[in-house]
Amino acid sequence: MRELRFEGNAVYLEEVAEIYFPYIIAWRNDPLNNRYLNQPFPLDMEKQQAWYRHYLSDPTQGLLIVVDKQHDTPFATMGWTDHIPEERLCITGRLLVGDRRYRGSSLFAEATLIFADYMYGAFEVDTCYAHIVRDNIASIRYHEKYGFHRNDGVVQFPDEIIVNGMRQGEYVRAQADWLSVREHIAQRLSRDGIRMNQAGEGRL
């Protein structure tokens, strides 16, 4: 376990720990949340703990919890899988705004910026992939807003194209793609009262 934690202005991102399991279970079992999730079964504490034991022994993946600092309220997850350090790439995902009050919020935008800056900075990847169910229009728009575009070349992760009977599109974002939209995102956050430095950390 890396015990990652990233401090923002309005949020912080912290690596998953057992204290967050009740939130994760409730979020992922919510029918309005799990329509497009890769989870064809009800999640319970036993399954979550089994997943966590595997997670702790797998250096290719990570899961972060996003917390509203003012109210000390966890509200979302984001993370990565299939990290290939020698190729400087991974799959980003595990994206779930479990508390729907935060969807489209500046707090979620700040978390997204912090996470992307970490991926292309200290985590040292050049390319992030994402796999999105084709009729999940909200997720497609979110990813495009933050620099992803449809991979029209050779599919990098063919096993992700059909998952649980759902066909997914593969999206890709290089570091240059992220940098092309980052300033616009930071300016929007600044208008909302959240100022960012170049490392993606919030400033008061």
CATH number for the domain spanning 198: value is 3.40.630.30
Q: Which of the four pLDDT bands, split at 50, 70 and 90, describes residue 202?
A: very low
Residue 10 belongs to domain spanning: 5-203
Total count of domains within the chain: 1
What is the mean predicted confidence (pLDDT) over 110-121?
Answer: 98
Q: Which two tokens stand for residue 196?
A: 């960012």
Q: Which residues contact 40 (CB under 8 A, 6 or more apart)?
A: 164
User: How far, in Å, CA of 46 to CA of 48, rounded?
Assistant: 5
Q: Are 6 and 197 in contact (CB under 8 A)?
A: no
The per-type count for the chain, helices as H runs and strands as E runs, is 5, 11
What is the mean predicted confidence (pLDDT) over 76-83?
Answer: 98
pTM confidence score: 0.92
The pLDDT of residue 130 is: 98
